[in-house]
Amino acid sequence: HQPVEHRADVRSDLVRFDLEHDCVCSLPRRSHEQSAKCNWNEFDKHSFGTTIPPVRYTLRMDDLTGRVALVTGGNRGIGRAVALALAEAGADVVVNYLARSREAQEVESLIARMGKRCVAIQADVSLSADVDRLVAAAGPIDILVNNAGIARPQPIEEITERDWDDLIDVNLKSVFLVTQAVLPGMRARQWGRIVNLSSVAAQVGGVVGPHYAASKAGILGLTRYYARHLAKEGIRVNAI
């Protein structure tokens, strides 16, 4: 519960988001006294005793005009934000959802107003038959964002086999099923981008439960395997 600027373990990795210029700037090292006195709204006026300029990373995506992206669980939350960002970058978007069709239709309308094509398709991505139907209806997919997932906070002693199966199926099995379904097209075109949504729980365990942590850790293993074996075919696979 310490202020983040006073935690020595993260101090060297702090970054500042500069939304005005669409970039991320690394913060140079500073003492506790400097941190306490700093007005972070006037970041550019502070040198913190160093002349090293901030390293800047772009926040803008490449121009995705002509690409088709599929976002699982794209009707709300992170998935909705990703779908809108992809459309803003120029991609046509397929929004997958399980329930809450009205929310999916809202995303579809917002993307249409941007002048991009969008279709919302209901499917349970933990079921192979639904995934086959989804991908067949979507057509060739260039960009896949495996975002669909559930979290079910439970004490260890209350987790049942059904609970375990539910989280593994939705969070992990779905990533495998959808990835396998879109890969033939990506490999044929020698181009593809796959982004899998994992969690810090994969590394530290988290607080949701062992079923959630295991499902997210599995995503990291899948990602590493696909990334290693598909890079030479022009397909990049990463996890967040």
- Catalytic positions, written as ranges: 212
Q: Where are the beta strands (DSSP E) in 48-123?
A: 56-58, 68-71, 92-97, 118-122
Non-local (6+) Cβ contacts of 109 within 8 A are none
Return d(Cα 197, Cα 13) in angstroms, integer.
22
Return d(Cα 184, Cα 182) in angstroms, integer.
6
Non-local (6+) Cβ contacts of 141 within 8 A are 68, 69, 70, 94, 135, 182, 185, 186, 192
169 burial (CB, 10 Å; 0-12 / 13-18 / 19+) is middle
14, 26 Cβ separation under 8 angstroms? yes
143, 192 Cβ separation under 8 angstroms? yes
Q: Which helix (H) or strand (E) holds 237?
A: strand 235-239
Tokens, residue 48: 């913190």
Tokens, residue 173: 């099995």
9, 43 Cβ separation under 8 angstroms? no
